Amino acid sequence: MTDTPFPFDPGATAAMLDWTAQRIADGPDPKHGAQAFAALEPVLGGSITAEGIGAREAFALFTDTIVPSTRPFGHPTSLSFVAAAPSRAALSFDAALGAAGIFAGNWDGGAGAIHAENQALRWLADLAGWPATAGGVFVAGGTLGNLSALHAARHRRAQAVPRPERWALICSVEAHSSIHAVARVMDVDVIAVPTDAGGRMSAEAAAPHVSDRVFAVVGNGGATNCGAVDDLAGLARLCAAHGLWLHVDGAYGGAALADPQQRGLFDGIERADSLIVDPHKWLFAPYDSCALLYRDAGHGAAAHGQQAVYLDTVDKTHWNPSDYALHLTRRARGLPLWFSLAVHGTDAYAQAIARTRAIAEAIARGIAARDALDLLLGPQLTVILFRPRAMAEADMVRWAETHRRSGALLCLPTRWRGEMVFRLCIVNPETDPAQVLSVLDSLPG
Ligand SMILES: Cc1ncc(COP(=O)(O)O)c(C=O)c1O
């Protein structure tokens, strides 16, 4: 063995890989969930010592304490927030990718990985109906994707018009919280436009808010709380008329572009300027990745490229992912999606997304048929909002906690038009509607 400060027994590597294989086969345990600081501290506190505790002990902390104290988002009964449903292919590959230790910030560092990631980006660009100029990069999540796209939007607008006292963007009141967070980082105002009864923003509602200080309109491609897809065709026309950038936040819903039955909801997206889709939401990839795409990738590069003498050796004639978002170093986080697509094929993806939608429809039908429950909305994409007719808010919270703890169902309350409601968001094609409805039968009538 070469002299190293970090000797490591290959047997320990093998043991970790065995655990990994078993975990991927079994999936997460639905009974797992966050434990209190007071429970974790006696076990994990002090685990970093001067001498080290060794691989066996450190890995046992991971398997026996860390993993059980995490929410099993990948389980088919996990139907709150926007969960995850990584394919076994994607999870297996992610383990291998970690071992490969690839730097994918620029072509020199990660050409093969970048080329393959770009295949997955091209698939998404084709689904959006975008030309050969389209391109982008995988970033860590939708928040960073939204920030990077909107920075490019303002950069382009700033070349064309005098700088206003305050920049502003237009979005709907249903826009994700990350749009507001991005606006704070960019120090721009948010003009939040009211929606229709389903949470959809129309071009007519947005139009009166257009002014010289607006640089972009953000259309929902699947609002988180209600699943609404905004009137993208109308918004594209509005943006074209005023030289504005249309950004589509499809972090959750953009996956539905792959389902021919749902594609019509996104008509107009072919004229949008940028789009994000999170593969860790409804594209069956593990955390964390967001596909950020520009219809004209040159706008992304104009806004984001970094320059420094120590970067002069980077070959600028190649595709350098660091040029397209707010980052430099990056792992090839789009590769698990590429691998899963390559293994299963795009038809399997279309079918899995259509099946998820069918599961949501079956659950919504079951809710509508139950006297104890009011179906309020949906499914829109795969989001369902409903309310038990005779249940106080505190009881709803207690019911949700009981079923979360037992592992039967993660179904947490949200608010819709001011009222507490239950929300389901299905992204897992293995969710069983009959099982979900049988849990909902425990709600009092
Ligand atoms: C519509 C939408 N946009 C943006 C985000 C933010 O994505 P991320 O959590 O990956 O930063 C989310 C997350 O749920 C989302 O649903």
How do beta strands 189-193 and 168-172 pair? parallel
Cα 139 to middle of ligand 1, angstroms = 12
Q: Please, what CATH class does the domain formed by 347-440 belong to?
A: alpha beta
Q: Where are the domains of the chain?
A: 95-344, 347-440
- What's the pLDDT tens digit per position in 170-226? 999 999 999 999 999 999 999 999 999 999 999 999 999 999 999 999 999 999 999
Bridge partners of 373? 388
The DSSP string of 163-217 is PPSS-EEEEETTS-HHHHHHHHHHT-EEEEEP--TTSPPPHHHHGGG--TTEEEE
Q: What angle do CA 241, 244, 247 make, to 5 degrees?
A: 125
- What's the pLDDT tens digit per position in 307-362? 999 999 998 899 999 999 999 999 999 999 999 999 999 999 999 999 999 999 99
Which of 220, 229, 252 has the most ligand 1 atoms within 8 A of CB, as the residue to mutate?
A: 252
Its pTM stands at 0.97
Average pLDDT of the segment spanning 131-152: 98
> Using alpha carbons only, how large is the chain's radius of gyration in Å?
23
Query: Residue 243: what pLDDT?
Result: 97
Average pLDDT of the segment spanning 109-135: 98
Kindly indicate the confidence band of residue 1, based on its pLDDT and cuts at 50, 70 and 90: low
| % of the chain surpassing 90 pLDDT | 98
> Ligand 1 pocket by C-beta < 6 Å: which residues?
82, 141-143, 176, 178, 224, 249, 251-252, 278, 290
Three-state SS at 59: helix
**Average pLDDT score over the chain:** 97
Residue nearest to atom 16 of ligand 1 (CA): 224
C-alpha separations of 356 from 253, 279, 348, 379, 389 in Å: 12, 15, 12, 11, 27
- What's the pLDDT tens digit per position in 268-317? 999 999 999 999 999 999 999 999 999 999 999 999 999 999 999 998 89
pLDDT at 2 over 90: no
Q: For the domain 95-344, what is the CATH code?
A: 3.40.640.10
What are the tokens at 408?
């039967």
